[in-house]
Structure formats: C-alpha cells, structure tokens
C-alpha cells in the first residue's frame, strides 16, 4: 500500500502543467509534420531558409540570413489584455532584439479541441520567426508543409483574401 501511494505521488509530481503540455504537444505535432514534409522541400521555400526553419522549430535557436546572426526563439504566454492576443492565437514580436525573438502564445491558443489549429499556428508563426512579418508567405509555407505531410491543408481562403495574398507572388497548394 505504501509503495502504491509513493508511486502515485511520484507520477503526479512528474506531470507538467496543462498549458505546458499543450504547447509541447503542439510543437511535437508541428515538428512531426515538418519532418514528414522536409525531404520533399527545396533548400528555400517562399524565401524561407528551410534549414534555419527546422533549427528554430526543433531547437528554438537558428542562424539567420534574414536577421543576420544567431537568433534564439523564446516562447512566452500572452494575456487577454494584450491587443494582439485579442485578435490572434499567437504572434511574434519582431524584429529580434539582442539576438532573441519572442513567440507569444495567447489564451485562445490553448482552447479545447484545437490541436490541428495549434499545429498550424506553430508552423505559421515559425515562418515569421525565421523570415519576417509577411502573412502571405507564412500562410503559403505552412499550407505547403501540411499538404506535403498529410496530403491536405487547412482552408485559409478567407484569411488569404483578407490579407490580399492573391497578387503576393505566394501560393497555396
């Protein structure tokens, strides 16, 4: 009985907080999708250095031709009072400052039942981390990763139109 009690305490103490678990799971799914697609990607896709993207996604540190030098990505929690969090599930603070860029995850990032959206959000926001603020580039890159990995991509038509991406030079699969 005492052993079972100690085992239960050990197992409970090893559980991470729910939010951290949600974030880790989203990164794990994004990494898995990217790795499934990677062998079919060129060295650069839509102006995104695929090696730098992989390093940022996997190690949260990368060497950037776009920003110049080594950049460390920090993942932060945003609050509902942040103006950007009122509009987005996540955003990136750009440009990097002192070699660091922040990926801010807003409260709606952790909404129940949104695993697919969380994965897409990570794929999308990492484009901003590596290659800058262009929304059309980020949507196109993330959609191509989804398509190459799963054979389909999330319908982002309304967001694509709202950002006037039709004439951007980027394309969805």
What are the extents of the domains in the chain?
Answer: 18-134
pLDDT value at 4 more than 50: no
Q: Which of 11-15, 28-32, 125-129, 164-168 has the lowest mean pLDDT?
A: 11-15
The strands making up 69-77's β-sheet, listed across from edge to edge, are: 61-64, 69-77, 100-105, 90-97
The pLDDT of residue 18 is 52
Q: Residue 168 above 60 pLDDT?
A: yes
Q: Is the dihedral of CA 29, 102, 80, 16 positive or negative?
A: positive
Q: What is the pLDDT of residues 78-122, one digit of tens each?
A: 998 888 999 999 999 999 999 999 999 999 999 888 899 999 999
Question: Going by C-beta distance under 8 Å and a sequence separation of 6 or more, which residues neighbour residue 151?
Answer: none
Nearest CA-CA partner of 119 in 35, 7, 41: 35
Provide the pLDDT for residue 20. Answer: 67
How far is residue 173's CA from residue 33's CA, in Å, rounded to a whole number? Answer: 16
- So what's the pLDDT on residue 19? 58
Indicate the Cα dihedral angle 146, 77, 71, 126, nearest 10°.
Answer: 10
Threshold 0.75, pTM exceeds: yes
Backbone phi, then psi, for 80, in 5-degree steps?
A: -60, -20
Q: Quick check: helix, strand or coil at residue 169?
A: coil
Residue 63 CB coordination number (10 Å): 14
106: DSSP letter: P
pLDDT of residue 2: 44
pLDDT in tens, 10-55: 333 333 445 569 999 999 999 999 999 999 999 999 999 999 999 9
């Amino acid at each position: 009985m005492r052993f079972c009690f100690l085992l239960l305490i050990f197992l409970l103490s090893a559980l991470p907080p729910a939010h951290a678990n949600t974030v880790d799971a989203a990164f794990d799914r994004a990494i898995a999708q990217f790795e499934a697609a990677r062998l079919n990607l060129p060295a650069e896709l839509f102006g995104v250095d695929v090696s730098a993207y992989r390093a940022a996604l996997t190690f949260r540190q990368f060497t950037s031709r776009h920003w110049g030098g080594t950049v460390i990505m920090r993942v932060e929690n945003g609050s509902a009072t942040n103006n950007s969090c009122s509009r987005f599930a996540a955003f990136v603070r750009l440009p990097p400052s002192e070699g660091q860029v922040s990926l801010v995850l807003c409260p709606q990032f952790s909404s129940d039942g949104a695993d697919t959206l969380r994965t897409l959000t990570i794929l999308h926001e990492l484009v901003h981390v590596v290659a800058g603020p262009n929304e059309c580039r980020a949507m196109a890159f993330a959609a191509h990763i989804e398509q190459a990995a799963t054979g389909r991509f999330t319908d982002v038509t309304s967001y694509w139109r709202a950002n006037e991406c039709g004439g951007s030079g980027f394309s969805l699969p």
